[in-house]
Amino acid sequence: MISRNRLEEQFAKLKEITAPGKGINRLAFTAEDREGRAYVKSLMVAAGLTVRQDAFGNLIGHYPGREDDLPAVMSGSHCDSVPQGGNYDGIVGILTAIEAVRSLHEQGKLPKHPLEIVAFQCEESSRFGAATLGSKAMRGMLSVDDLRRLKDKNGKILYEVLQENDLEPEKIHEAKYDRPLKAYYEVHIEQGKVLESKQKRIGIVTGIAAPTRLKVLLAGHADHSGATPMGLRQDAMCAASEIILAVERLATDYTETPVVGTVGVVNNIPNVMNVVPGNVQLGIDIRSISEKAKAQVTTAVEDQIMKICQKRKVQAKIETISQDKPAVMQKKVVDFLMEICEQQHVPYITMPSGAGHDAMHWTDYTATGMLFIPCKGGISHHPDEYAEMRDIVTAAKLLEKAIWLTANE
Ligand SMILES: [Zn+2]
């Protein structure tokens, strides 16, 4: 049986493991992170798992199957947090997975396929500027060169950080998970307000959006704000303002698949009260789980930028900084999770994930499913992050069911 008391105790215990400052501070590879991971490891052992650690520090707990050579069913999430983060992001996917296995273990249930529960290392980009590094290591997407290139804001190289954590950067290739998998499941807080606003307890993720990021450099003319009549201006900020609203409109008007567009960066140069803005830089982030939708909106945004700038005699230079591929969940996995929710009478919806997750690296490797639970006010990466225990227990029960059924197929 899934134990609410046990889960409550575990979240309370993890709340104590943090650096001074508000909220949870288990930044990857710090003393608090090590302490948190040691605790997670002890929970894995108590659930009947045999734990190993790979070259990057991912913890993998193995629960034997009746036919232990068959592909495993994997579940997990990340153990690290952002600075001053919340007590649920990532860790809820680890604790629910461990609890699901512990429940099977207590009932003396051995599935046909083995189970592997993973506590991924360094999912958050807050320390090294790159996200989901633990999953990337397990998928063979992280090289020794990458480890030497990535630095934290104090200039500390990831390669050295691994050495200081008694890990083996030279053996990073050995972290690659090359055995076949039967499936991968991840529970995570939604980090948005959709479930709360629709009053649903579970979101079944249909895909994980990936961003296209554009840097736009607008060059008009910096003139005296008093001496330059309105008709003679080349105001880069006015062009930027029109562009910001165009991004909002183009993303909103695309209705075939949800697309979100955000201008999160505005740099105005010289940013002086009595000067017409001459140069403005914009950072635009466009996301969707549909590659086609994302490409169409991106093209439309680029067209609009050129039109707006032509009209205002402002020069525009557009650079594509990144263009990542969205991850799509297989329909059969979504259907399977819907069926389980219906059997258990859990109110659910299907929904895309706007944020990136470890799960996105497993969709091209195995049947991958993700369950979201609501978080209060959509707040995440913040000390006020909160998820209700009844939702955590529901997710653990659904996960136990999904793992058990999949591992006996
Ligand atoms: Zn997370």
Residue pLDDT, tens place only, 356-370? 999 999 999 999 999
Expressed in angstroms and rounded, the spacing between residue 350 Cα and the centre of ligand 1 is 19
End-to-end CA distance of the chain: 22
Expressed in angstroms and rounded, the spacing between residue 179 Cα and the centre of ligand 1 is 25
Expressed in angstroms and rounded, the spacing between residue 153 Cα and the centre of ligand 1 is 21
Residue 113 pLDDT exceeds 90: yes
Q: What CA–CA distance (Å, rounded) separates 274 from 223?
A: 9
Expressed in angstroms and rounded, the spacing between residue 256 Cα and the centre of ligand 1 is 28
pLDDT given at position 300: 98
Per-chain residues with Cβ under 5 A from ion ligand 1: 89-90
Comparing CA positions, the residue from 215, 220, 239, 248 lying closest to residue 308 is 239
Expressed in angstroms and rounded, the spacing between residue 304 Cα and the centre of ligand 1 is 34
Expressed in angstroms and rounded, the spacing between residue 171 Cα and the centre of ligand 1 is 26
Expressed in angstroms and rounded, the spacing between residue 317 Cα and the centre of ligand 1 is 34
Expressed in angstroms and rounded, the spacing between residue 123 Cα and the centre of ligand 1 is 7
Expressed in angstroms and rounded, the spacing between residue 166 Cα and the centre of ligand 1 is 25
Expressed in angstroms and rounded, the spacing between residue 110 Cα and the centre of ligand 1 is 30
pLDDT given at position 126: 87
Expressed in angstroms and rounded, the spacing between residue 119 Cα and the centre of ligand 1 is 12
Q: pLDDT band for 20, please (50, 70, 90 cuts).
A: confident
Average pLDDT of span 252-279: 95
Expressed in angstroms and rounded, the spacing between residue 4 Cα and the centre of ligand 1 is 22
Expressed in angstroms and rounded, the spacing between residue 186 Cα and the centre of ligand 1 is 10
Expressed in angstroms and rounded, the spacing between residue 89 Cα and the centre of ligand 1 is 5
- Give pLDDT tens digits for 127-146: 998 889 999 999 999 999 99
Three-state secondary structure readout of the chain: CCCHHHHHHHHHHHHHCCCCCCCECCCCCCHHHHHHHHHHHHHHHHCCCEEEECCCCCEEEEECCCCCCCCEEEEEEECCCCCCECCCCCHHHHHHHHHHHHHHHHCCCCCCCCEEEEEECCCCCCCCCCCCHHHHHHCCCCCHHHHHHCECCCCCEHHHHHHHCCCCHHHHHHHCCCCCEEEEEEEEECCCCHHHHHCCCEEEEEEECEEEEEEEEEECCCCECCCCCHHHCCCHHHHHHHHHHHHHHHHHHCCCCCEEEEEEEEEEECCCCCECCCEEEEEEEEEECCHHHHHHHHHHHHHHHHHHHHHCCCEEEEEEEEECCCEECCHHHHHHHHHHHHHCCCCEEEEEECCCCHHHHCCCCCCEEEEEECCHHHCCCCCCCCCCHHHHHHHHHHHHHHHHHHHCC
Expressed in angstroms and rounded, the spacing between residue 181 Cα and the centre of ligand 1 is 22
Expressed in angstroms and rounded, the spacing between residue 233 Cα and the centre of ligand 1 is 46
Residue type, 286: I
Average pLDDT of span 315-339: 94
Expressed in angstroms and rounded, the spacing between residue 383 Cα and the centre of ligand 1 is 14
Expressed in angstroms and rounded, the spacing between residue 132 Cα and the centre of ligand 1 is 9
Residue 321 pLDDT exceeds 90: no
pLDDT given at position 322: 83
- Give pLDDT tens digits for 141-173: 999 999 999 999 899 999 999 999 999 999 999
Expressed in angstroms and rounded, the spacing between residue 79 Cα and the centre of ligand 1 is 9
Residue 89 pLDDT exceeds 90: yes
Q: Is residue 61 a contact partner of residue 49, using CB atoms and an 8 Å limit?
A: yes
Exposure string for 28-54, b = 16+ CB within 10 A, e = fewer: bbbebbbebbebbbebbeebbbebebb
pLDDT given at position 291: 93
The fraction of the chain above a pLDDT of 90, given in percent, is 95
pLDDT given at position 129: 85
Expressed in angstroms and rounded, the spacing between residue 81 Cα and the centre of ligand 1 is 8
The full set of domains in the chain, from first to last, is: 4-209+326-407 (3.40.630.10), 210-323 (3.30.70.360)
Average pLDDT of span 185-202: 97
Average pLDDT, the chain: 96
Prior bond to 114 cis, omega within 30? Answer: no
Expressed in angstroms and rounded, the spacing between residue 339 Cα and the centre of ligand 1 is 26
Expressed in angstroms and rounded, the spacing between residue 309 Cα and the centre of ligand 1 is 39
Average pLDDT of span 56-81: 98
Residue pointed to by tokens 């083995």? 114
- Give pLDDT tens digits for 288-315: 999 999 999 999 999 999 999 999 999 9
pTM: 0.88
Average pLDDT of span 103-108: 97
Expressed in angstroms and rounded, the spacing between residue 218 Cα and the centre of ligand 1 is 35
Expressed in angstroms and rounded, the spacing between residue 133 Cα and the centre of ligand 1 is 12
pLDDT given at position 18: 84
Expressed in angstroms and rounded, the spacing between residue 237 Cα and the centre of ligand 1 is 35
- Give pLDDT tens digits for 203-240: 999 999 988 999 999 999 999 999 999 999 999 999 99
Expressed in angstroms and rounded, the spacing between residue 88 Cα and the centre of ligand 1 is 8
Q: What CA–CA distance (Å, rounded) separates 288 from 290?
A: 5
pLDDT given at position 384: 95
Expressed in angstroms and rounded, the spacing between residue 279 Cα and the centre of ligand 1 is 36
Residues 6+ apart with CB under 8 A from 395: 92, 96, 187, 202, 371, 373
Q: What CA–CA distance (Å, rounded) separates 328 from 331?
A: 9
